[in-house]
């Protein structure tokens, strides 16, 4: 037996652990830490992490269950906001503008599988779609793209049946105007996103509606109707008579306005040609502007009302003051003529009823240039008139105002104002002397008195009412008085030659007729304007206001007076016995 010598084996060295594994082991287990405690901590941490993940999933599931899949809607709000708007109603509650729900077509381009097929199917269902534009929208990288806003329910059903992936519908607010063109220049209109771009619609947005929508505080249920001063019945009657007059006298345009002289409310306003706000393309036609607020014009002889009121209010003249009208008034190289020269001295009352340019010029010169400017500024004729309508024009006032300017402005030439501005001034001359800013919203007499500013004495106002009534009895407004018998109107005509090629034209005129009713206690003022009326055999070749604007105004008054709550009265005494006598009795 041989003794076996035990062999001693050298320990085998373990392969070196890579540094990355050592780092991970160090982070996970650390050193010199109780491994059991570490294990419990890791289990707890894992439970919290998984609990959080499942919690988020649960919340999302609840949101989907309650709100549905509104991804597309949220994406849509980034592209455009079809805001909900309040109804607009007239003073009697008739709806002038309201929202209806309408489907709109959108796409999610990333979900479109076959763009060519989608384009072909969509343009087949909606032939007015531009195929190139649709293809471009389907090819972009956005998650959302409008394809067509405000489609019909039948179009929605047709497209739905096509089953195109990535094509969907959203219900939006669409603005509709049940009265069509009737109140278009007052209401204005909205754009495709239901945001106001003109008229009262724009005023609504600039007076808090847009901010409310952005803050998310406005909804369909929260918005109260906006009540206007307009009477839709009166508006229809005025528009109908103006359409007839425009057609009969072959005028380029016609416009009219009815204002409450005691509140400043605009009860009706029409400017032809107008537009249908349901068809926004018409509104962009430059010929369809609102001539009563956006246009500025030389108002012709209606301005004599202000000139004579200035003289009466100053105390330097009275109804019997005499002015030399024997010959044309010469000023430098200019000569002022009367269309029907009387060739004698005429009273201030005759200056009005015979519409004497010479007489009005002498009345204004008697007051002086500065007094004339001061008075016209006081009655709001030299500054831009601001109302709820954003469309307003700045008057065209002479930069250098000398005596010649005062002469021409005294009879309505050389100063251009918005017709609504002139109406405001005339209202103040007949309502007791208060300048009240016009408004398209409802307003009470008490509210009007709080903001009204006295600009002429009551006695002056009485005399102007007398002069206007006298003009209807014996002057250029007689035909309107005959056509509106019983409403005891007063009025003033205006024929303003238009400037063509830098010179006044005898054949192109802007005619106006301003009436108050009833003249002994005015409630309303009616303004009728015809732009470039043509001569007719029945007008004996004349184009002056008395032959067209005056009869048109008489017909308007006969139709609207009953709607305005006025009753006809007959066998009334003449103006000197009814108006002047009453005025003297109260002094």
Q: Catalytic residue numbers?
A: 301
Map residue 104 onto helix, strand or coil.
strand
φ, ψ of residue 25 in degrees (nearest 5):
-60, -40
Scan for tokens 């800013």, then name that residue. 437
Answer yes or no: are the C-beta atoms of 198 and 87 closer than 8 Å.
no
φ, ψ of residue 192 in degrees (nearest 5):
-65, -20
C-alpha 456/C-alpha 431 separation (Å) is 10
Pairing of strands 226-227, 88-89: parallel
C-alpha 300/C-alpha 282 separation (Å) is 31
C-alpha 28/C-alpha 44 separation (Å) is 14
Q: How is residue 49 written in tokens?
A: 């992490």
Residue 516 vs residues 174, 465, 489, 494, 579: alpha-carbon distances, Å: 40, 8, 6, 15, 14
Which residues touch 21 (CB under 8 Å, ≥6 apart)?
A: none
Geometric angle at alpha carbon 549, from 200 and 485, rounded to 5°: 100
Judged on CB neighbours under 10 Å (0-12, 13-18, 19+), 129 is middle
Query: What is the b/e burial string over 387-403, where b = at least 16 CB atoms within 10 angstroms of the residue's CB?
Result: bbbbbbbebebeeebee
Cα torsion angle, 328, 364, 461, 320, sign = negative
Answer yes or no: are the C-beta atoms of 72 and 104 closer than 8 Å.
no
C-alpha 235/C-alpha 212 separation (Å) is 32
Which residues touch 88 (CB under 8 Å, ≥6 apart)?
A: 95, 96, 97, 98, 187, 200, 201, 225, 226, 228
Geometric angle at alpha carbon 91, from 90 and 92, rounded to 5°: 90
> Closest Cα to residue 533, out of 239, 243, 242, 249?
249
C-alpha 282/C-alpha 277 separation (Å) is 8
> Closest Cα to residue 127, out of 119, 117, 115?
119
φ, ψ of residue 410 in degrees (nearest 5):
-60, -30
């Amino acid at each position: 037996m041989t003794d076996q010598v035990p062999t001693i084996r050298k320990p085998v060295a373990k392969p070196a652990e890579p540094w990355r594994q050592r780092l991970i082991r160090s982070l996970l287990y650390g050193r010199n830490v109780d491994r059991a405690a570490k294990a419990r901590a890791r289990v707890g941490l894992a439970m919290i992490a998984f609990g959080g993940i499942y919690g988020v999933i649960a919340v999302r599931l609840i949101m989907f269950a309650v709100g549905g899949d509104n991804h597309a809607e949220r994406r849509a709000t980034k592209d455009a906001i079809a805001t909900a708007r309040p109804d607009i109603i007239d003073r009697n509650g008739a709806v002038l503008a309201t929202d209806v729900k309408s489907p709109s077509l959108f796409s999610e381009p990333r979900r479109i599988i076959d763009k060519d097929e989608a384009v072909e199917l969509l343009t087949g269902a909606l032939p007015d779609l531009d195929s190139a534009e649709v293809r471009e929208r389907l090819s972009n990288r956005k998650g959302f793209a409008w394809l067509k806003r405000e489609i019909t329910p039948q179009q929605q059903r047709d497209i739905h049946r096509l089953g195109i992936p990535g094509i969907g519908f959203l219900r939006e607010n669409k603005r509709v105007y049940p009265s069509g063109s009737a109140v278009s220049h007052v209401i204005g209109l909205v754009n495709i996103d239901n945001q106001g771009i003109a008229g009262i619609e724009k005023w609504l947005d600039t007076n808090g509606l847009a901010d409310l929508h952005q803050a998310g505080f406005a909804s369909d249920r929260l918005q109260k109707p906006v009540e206007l001063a307009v009477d839709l019945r009166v508006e229809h009657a005025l528009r109908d008579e103006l359409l007839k007059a425009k057609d009969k006298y072959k005028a380029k345009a016609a416009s009219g306005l009815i204002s409450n002289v005691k509140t400043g409310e605009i009860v009706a306003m029409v400017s032809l040609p107008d537009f249908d706000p349901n068809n926004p393309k018409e509104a962009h036609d430059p010929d369809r502007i609102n001539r009563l607020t956006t246009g500025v014009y030389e108002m012709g002889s209606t301005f004599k009302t202000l000139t004579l009121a200035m003289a009466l209010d100053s105390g330097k003249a009275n109804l019997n003051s005499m002015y030399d009208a024997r010959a044309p008034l010469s000023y430098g190289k200019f000569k002022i003529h009367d269309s029907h020269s009387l060739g004698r001295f005429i009273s201030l009352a005759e200056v009005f009823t015979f519409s004497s340019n010479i007489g009005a010029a002498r009345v204004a010169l008697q007051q002086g240039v500065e007094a004339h400017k001061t008075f016209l500024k006081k009655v709001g004729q030299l500054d831009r008139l601001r109302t709820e309508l954003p469309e307003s024009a700045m008057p065209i006032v002479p930069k250098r105002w000398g005596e010649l300017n005062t002469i021409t402005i005294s009879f309505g030439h050389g100063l251009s104002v918005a017709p609504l501005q002139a109406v405001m001034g005339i209202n103040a001359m007949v309502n007791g002397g208060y300048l009240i800013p016009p408004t398209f919203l409802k307003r009470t007499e008490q509210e009007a008195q709080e903001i009204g500013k006295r600009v002429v004495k009551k006695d002056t106002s009485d005399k102007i009412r007398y002069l206007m009534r006298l003009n209807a009895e014996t002057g250029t407004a007689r035909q309107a008085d005959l056509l509106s018998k019983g409403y005891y109107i007063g009025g003033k005509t205006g024929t303003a030659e238009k400037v063509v090629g830098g010179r006044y034209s005898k054949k192109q005129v802007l005619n106006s007729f301003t009436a108050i009713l009833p003249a002994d206690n005015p409630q309303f003022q009616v303004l009728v304007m015809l732009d470039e009326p043509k001569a007719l055999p029945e007008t004996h070749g004349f184009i002056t206001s008395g032959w067209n604007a005056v009869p048109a105004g008489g017909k308007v008054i006969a139709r609207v007076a009953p709607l305005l709550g006025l009753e006809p009265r007959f066998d009334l005494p003449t103006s000197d016995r009814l108006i002047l006598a009453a005025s003297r009795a109260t002094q």
